[in-house]
Amino acid sequence: MLAVLLLLVSTISIQSMNATARAERFLPGACERGGPLTCTFKLKDVPTSVAIEEGSPRAFVLHTDADTTVDPQACDRSVCRGSVSMIDLTKMQLVRTVSVGSAPGLPLVDRLTHRLFVVDERGDGDGTVYTIDTRTGRVVGRIQAGLCPCSTALAAKTNRVFVSTSAGLRMLDATSGAVIRTLPSLAGSVVIDDRLNRAYTYGPGGMVVADAASGRALRTWKVGECRGQIAIDQRHDRLYTARAVDGTGSNQSQGYFCVIDARSGTIRATIKEGVGVTTRVLAVDSVAGTVVLFTHGYVGNGPVRVVHGLTGETIRILEDATPIPPPIVGAKTGTVYYMARVRYDPASRREVSALLRLNRLREEPELLVNKLALPSEMVLSATHKYLLLPSPSLKSLLVLHL
């Protein structure tokens, strides 16, 4: 009887220690009202990215134990430890935390196969891709994709994951995580068109169009200066590219924004953004057929603006909007969420910002939350029910119930 009691006490103690360890790593804060219901998770580590599994209450937080003053992407396995935490958004509880390399990033969730793909962007330098079962939160596979993984994309219809690396474009099976094919390409952007079952990336000869099921290169389009970042509007069959083309010096770079037909490769528009600037596509609104652009230059930054997706004509300036984190657009409604009005707050002794929502381009934006620490990114669920904002400076995750 005494042995049974000792075993029971020991088991309770171990469970208590495990619960305490989990609590120290991931502490839910008190939820507050006064607008949208907001709940804060306190983290022991620095959050680097977040992802949501659509059709389930599960979200995943990628984090590293690097100090907030150290760039997590500069970590290696001897210095930093990365991990992924699965949380239940309905219960606002931590479910499980697993170790993944040293600088986890570029998360992709395939809700059909219940797989989360996470790339160790630094680590040992091998670009390890971890496959995690989203139902259990456990690592079920890992492969070495190659050096310098810089972009990922999911082809849900063909059950494929694409990872752009310096070794080429890797195509993975979305269920097993195994590498199926490597397509010669340049490390850079990769996007998927689920309607046409195509993958788009860059090769030495121009923009490479590949079959999203087999990974076989179908053709290469000569796109001239329309290179760099790629974004896609599947509803309107448009590809958008943005870059700076170097001249004699950094103050002579020419910013370009291009519109390319996703079916034929025809360049529909080439807009020169000006000398001495770099152009970035921050978000695409397939509902309105518009694009959110930002230009930063040798002598200063331009405004964040909404432009027509075919002509590049400016429709609206998002006053005081920040390019980092970039604005996001609801896929079904076209609602724009963005951070603005960055300023120093003497009370908290840190920079704070405001979260705004723009329902229609011609209306005034709505203030959702004020005095927020600037998050590293914003992730919106497809149902517009949750908006997630990780804060590296505060080591926290803010969850808004919209």
Confidence of residue 16 (pLDDT cuts 50, 70, 90): very low
Give the pLDDT confidence score for residue 167 in this predicted structure: 85
The number of folded domains in the chain is: 1
Q: What value does the mean pLDDT take over residues 202-224? A: 94
CATH of the domain at 239: 2.40.10.480
Give the pLDDT confidence score for residue 34 in this predicted structure: 66
94 has a pLDDT exceeding 70: yes
- The residue that leads in pLDDT, 388 or 342, is 388
Q: Which strand (E) or helix (H) includes residue 13?
A: helix 2-25
- The residue that leads in pLDDT, 142 or 260, is 260
Task: Please check whether residue 139 lies inside any domain of the structure.
Answer: no
Give the tens place of pLDDT for each residue, 361-397.
778 999 999 888 889 999 999 887 899 999 998 899 9
Confidence of residue 44 (pLDDT cuts 50, 70, 90): confident
Give the pLDDT confidence score for residue 24 in this predicted structure: 40
Give the tens place of pLDDT for each residue, 102-156.
888 999 999 999 999 999 876 455 678 999 999 999 999 988 887 778 889 999 9
Mean pLDDT of the chain: 83
Give the tens place of pLDDT for each residue, 348-364.
777 889 999 998 777 89
Give the pLDDT confidence score for residue 4 in this predicted structure: 40
Percent of the chain with pLDDT over 90: 50
- The residue that leads in pLDDT, 232 or 41, is 232
Give the pLDDT confidence score for residue 272 in this predicted structure: 86
Confidence of residue 302 (pLDDT cuts 50, 70, 90): confident
Task: Please check whether residue 293 lies inside any domain of the structure.
Answer: yes
Least confident window among 6-20, 90-104, 213-227:
6-20
Distance CA 332, CA 342 (A): 29
Tell me the three state secondary structure of residue 207: strand
- CB neighbour list of residue 34: distance below 8 Å, 6 or more residues apart: none
Confidence of residue 22 (pLDDT cuts 50, 70, 90): very low
Task: Please check whether residue 109 lies inside any domain of the structure.
Answer: no
Task: Please check whether residue 285 lies inside any domain of the structure.
Answer: yes
Least confident window among 221-225, 243-247, 279-283:
243-247
Angle, CA of 294, 297 and 303, to the nearest 5°:
35
19 has a pLDDT exceeding 50: no
245 has a pLDDT exceeding 90: no
DSSP 325: S
Task: Please check whether residue 257 lies inside any domain of the structure.
Answer: yes
Task: Please check whether residue 295 lies inside any domain of the structure.
Answer: yes
Least confident window among 24-28, 31-35, 55-59, 274-278:
24-28
- CB neighbour list of residue 167: distance below 8 Å, 6 or more residues apart: 145, 146, 147, 182
Backbone angles phi, psi at 351, to 5 degrees: -75, 135
Number of residues that make up the chain: 402
Give the domain extent around 242. 228-318
Task: Please check whether residue 313 lies inside any domain of the structure.
Answer: yes
Over 209-242, what HEC string results? Answer: EEECCCCCEEEEECCCCCCCEEEEECCCCEEEEE
Task: Please check whether residue 150 lies inside any domain of the structure.
Answer: no
Confidence of residue 251 (pLDDT cuts 50, 70, 90): low
